Structure 1
Amino acid sequence: MPRSRPIASLFAGLLLATQAGAADIDAASYGFPLANPFEATIAGTPPELRPQLPADEDIDQADYELKLRPEREFELPANFWPVTKLRYRLARQDGRAPLIFIIAGTGAHYSSGKTEELKRLFYGAGYHVVQLSSPTSYDFMSAASRTATPGVSRDDAEDLYRVMMAVRAQHPGLEVSDYHLTGYSLGGLHAAFVSELDERLRSFNFKRVLLLNPPVNLYTSVSNLDRLVQTRVAGIDDHTTYFELVLAKLTRYFEEQGRIDMNEAMLYDFQRSEQKLSDEQLAMLIGSSFRFSVADMAFTADLINRRGLITPPSYPIGEGTSLTPFFKRALQCDFDCYIVEQLVPYWRGKHDGGSLPQLIDQVSLYALADYLKGSSKVAVMHNADDLILGPGDIGFLRRTFGERLTLYPRGGHCGNLNYRVNSDAMLEFFRG
């Protein structure tokens, strides 16, 4: 594993990406208050700057299950019984309305926070809403993926498309005027590939498709996030762990406040206090969250496919088996490790060879450049200071999408999705 490095060197690429093109919207007129991309990524929009959205009790919604039975070489282990069916959430309007599918980001469940916020936004605007888990989440991998080896974008898109058709078939009485599609982070990349697939199969004929903070070069994006775990953080040594350091800061903050209040505004206020986390500590927090998602994906892919890289193929696993030792081993494997040990061998076996650069091109937006350049229904909203961008990424988005690219000056990675300005722009795009 590479040695840890100072935060300045980690984000030289991010600075280059930001400088590659001036932000389309002036920071002062935009009004988003968090200039620090690390803070924006974690804290999101202050509650008073978010739109007024319907509460859950005002939404006609329910969770449903699909039994898809993906054909695979191996049966699921016995302890996977809770995820033999794929769950999703549908919020329905009274009568005929447009329907929008929302694809979650890396490792995220269909009911994750950002997916829920987008649901409330579109439901409040009169849409039926279907929330889908990411193809990189353990539940999707177990119940819907034909390979249980996510990362080949076209394969992931085909799995998502099959799920979408099954969702529609499960609700024949739902009155739909037209179909729309969106996704955030990795879900934005998946939305692009699903849209291109639908252009050929014409099952939905999506009217509008919006990519929210998608990776351009998937390998660059995951490498940026992986490197955050290697950040050097002052105060961490043989006697104090990172989590103990953060807990101590939170404890002192709550003591100063005289109460424990874990509401949505807490982290924003916390970062305005003397106990605030440094950029290095914020970077470690973001990187740790991503590493857990990757570990979950690597562990699940290895276990389902009996590859023996993390869990011995012959190891007896039942409902009561502790998987903690194996998950700890999975945490030692970053995304590059997953690519080298699982994704590339699978991809080469399917395509009779091929280099890593070829794989990277095929799973990134580059593979869809011609389609995206010529499709007026597909648009992108991104942030100039997004942590997942690398040198040349903004230039690619400008050349490919032209006026269909909205580039905000601030927001980090998806930190401004629930900012009023962004929410209004999303609705305006889908309304045409």
Structure 2
Amino acid sequence: MLRFLRFAAVLGSLVLSASALAVDIDAKGYGFPLTNPFEATIATTPVDLRPKLPEDADINQSDYSLNLRPERDFTLPDNFWAVKKLRYRLAKQDHPAPLIFLIAGTGAPYNSTINEFLKKLYYQAGYNVVQLSSPTSYDFMSSASRYATPGVTKEDAEDLYRVMQAVRAQQSDLPVTEYYLTGYSLGALDAAFVSQLDESKHSFNFKRVLLLNPPVNLYTSISNLDKLVQTHVRGINGTTTFYELVLGKLSSYFKQKGYIDLNDALLFDLQQSREHLTNEQMAMLIGTSFRFSAADIAFTSDLINRRGLITPPKYPISEGTSLTPFFKRALQCDFDCYLTDQVIPMWRARTDGGSLLQLVDQVSLYALKDYLHNSSKIAVMHNADDVILGPGDLGFLRKTFGDRLTVYPYGGHCGNLNYRVNSDAMLEFFRG
């Protein structure tokens, strides 16, 4: 009953806001407990406020491999043997049912934490679910990307579309009634471009497409995340690193509790204690995580293409070669560095492309403004306090999507996707 009343309250907010362009959820009635965007991004929803979902053992699911062999003028190093085939996960219903494709966020594999949550949510609701890696993940770059230089969203979407077509061909005996599409973070941006591509290809004719916390201006989003690494954190000096500081806080926290309990509620509980992380510390934690993703992308793209920016092109690489020194070098290259050194030169060489500003427009939601405005099957769910948004981004979404945009007051970046209210709204959207 409590769950019904909570959802009814949100529906009431939707109705009351219908006269406005976007659906703005009232902060008082929303009930999400983490009003700090950094806390929400890291800790996500407290366990007792999440929907009850099936265990893995109760899901008919398996991992599969695709031998796509993308045509390109380079060969994979020997140490890439494990990712020469693209893996994906499929959860099957035992009856004819719709199928939802899930696209992971920046650098994330098909079995990322959020993809796993969304899989369970939609599977329980009666959908077949296919989990796909992000085009920026090293496994996708190795086995499915034509250029192994993600960042040009249209081309990333084309690679994803070929993967989706290959999945359907491999699962030809699966009785699918209709197709749906969703993605979170960068995967949401990819989903928008995939949807537009399908308008001309008609392989799936997606009935509904949901974008969860997408970047609007991709360059703004990655700049915001890169800046978090530069946050000044009190207590960090020449002898104490950021990681030692956080480890010290965790040690003191567990000492006070009297036992070690590593679970989903860890950060939420930690933030209620005397050892809580400051905003600056949480900002650096988020930024550092993103920097590792950016470094992984830059390192993998350089190594596969033998560009020589990070790994010498003629350096002998085998399965046993230590790549740690080169990855350390890659950590010095943020996402802006990756765009400048690898994406833009490749883009210009193949398309006679122009400036960075022209590329930014082409790879962001701006490029799809008319399509998104006129396509009633596409909706967006976002958070007003999302750390990847910049000035004007929410305004663009409001003007483009109208009442197909839902704006939650809190949640940070994807931190409230596993909140029961949000989960109910996602299911309600796909049910129509």
Per the normalisation by structure 2, the TM-score is 0.95
Residue of structure 1 in register with 2:33 after alignment: 33
Deviation (angstroms), 1:23: 7.9
Deviation (angstroms), 1:267: 1.0
Matches for 1:13-52 after TM superposition, within 5 Å: 24-52=24-52
Give the fraction of aligned pairs with identical amino acids, expressed as a percent: 74
Find the aligned partners of 1:195 and 1:116 in 2 and give their Cα distance: 22
Residue of structure 1 in register with 2:168 after alignment: 168
Residue of structure 1 in register with 2:8 after alignment: none
Residue of structure 2 in register with 1:369 after alignment: 369
Runs of 4+ in 1 over 3 A off after TM superposition: none
Alpha-carbon contact 2:23-2:405 (below 8 Å) kept: no
**How many equivalent pairs are there?**
412
Residue of structure 2 in register with 1:390 after alignment: 390
> Match of 2:24, SS?
coil
1:222 maps to amino acid? I
Find the aligned partners of 1:77 and 1:185 in 2 and give their Cα distance: 30
Are positions 1:132 and 2:132 aligned together?
yes
My pick for the range that moved more, 349-358 or 126-135, is: 349-358
Alpha-carbon contact 2:22-2:404 (below 8 Å) kept: no
What does the per-residue CA deviation read over 1:369-409, in whole Å, with 9 as the maximum and x for residues that have no partner?
00000000000000000000000000000000000000000
Deviation (angstroms), 1:360: 0.1
Deviation (angstroms), 1:351: 1.4
Residue of structure 2 in register with 1:80 after alignment: 80
Deviation (angstroms), 1:353: 3.2
Alpha-carbon contact 1:380-1:404 (below 8 Å) kept: yes
What does the per-residue CA deviation read over 1:224-270, in whole Å, with 9 as the maximum and x for residues that have no partner?
00000000000000110000000000000000001100111111011
2:279 maps to amino acid? D
Alpha-carbon contact 1:208-1:430 (below 8 Å) kept: yes
Alpha-carbon contact 1:37-1:386 (below 8 Å) kept: yes
Find the aligned partners of 1:92 and 1:305 in 2 and give their Cα distance: 37
1:123 maps to amino acid? Y
Deviation (angstroms), 1:329: 0.2
Alpha-carbon contact 2:310-2:326 (below 8 Å) kept: yes
> Match of 1:181, SS?
strand
What does the per-residue CA deviation read over 1:56-102, in whole Å, with 9 as the maximum and x for residues that have no partner?
11000000000000111110001100000000000000010000000
Alpha-carbon contact 1:23-1:384 (below 8 Å) kept: no
> Match of 1:70, SS?
coil
Residue of structure 1 in register with 2:211 after alignment: 211
Find the aligned partners of 2:71 and 2:421 in 1 and give their Cα distance: 44
| Structure 2: stretches of 5+ with no match in the other structure | 1-20
Find the aligned partners of 2:316 and 2:239 in 1 and give their Cα distance: 37
What does the per-residue CA deviation read over 1:125-167, in whole Å, with 9 as the maximum and x for residues that have no partner?
0000000000000000000000000000000000000000000
Find the aligned partners of 2:239 and 2:298 in 1 and give their Cα distance: 30
Deviation (angstroms), 1:199: 0.6
Find the aligned partners of 1:269 and 1:364 in 2 and give their Cα distance: 37
Residue of structure 1 in register with 2:95 after alignment: 95
Alpha-carbon contact 2:249-2:276 (below 8 Å) kept: yes
Find the aligned partners of 2:108 and 2:323 in 1 and give their Cα distance: 20
Find the aligned partners of 2:401 and 2:112 in 1 and give their Cα distance: 29
Find the aligned partners of 1:272 and 1:42 in 2 and give their Cα distance: 14
Deviation (angstroms), 1:22: 9.6
Are positions 1:325 and 2:322 aligned together?
no
Residue of structure 2 in register with 1:401 after alignment: 401
Alpha-carbon contact 1:34-1:411 (below 8 Å) kept: yes
Deviation (angstroms), 1:350: 1.4
1:117 maps to amino acid? F
Residue of structure 2 in register with 1:222 after alignment: 222
Find the aligned partners of 2:379 and 2:150 in 1 and give their Cα distance: 24
Find the aligned partners of 1:246 and 1:352 in 2 and give their Cα distance: 47
Find the aligned partners of 1:315 and 1:294 in 2 and give their Cα distance: 22
Find the aligned partners of 1:348 and 1:248 in 2 and give their Cα distance: 47
Alpha-carbon contact 2:208-2:430 (below 8 Å) kept: yes
Alpha-carbon contact 1:189-1:365 (below 8 Å) kept: yes
> Match of 1:211, SS?
strand
Find the aligned partners of 2:204 and 2:86 in 1 and give their Cα distance: 21
1:53 maps to amino acid? L
Find the aligned partners of 2:259 and 2:115 in 1 and give their Cα distance: 30
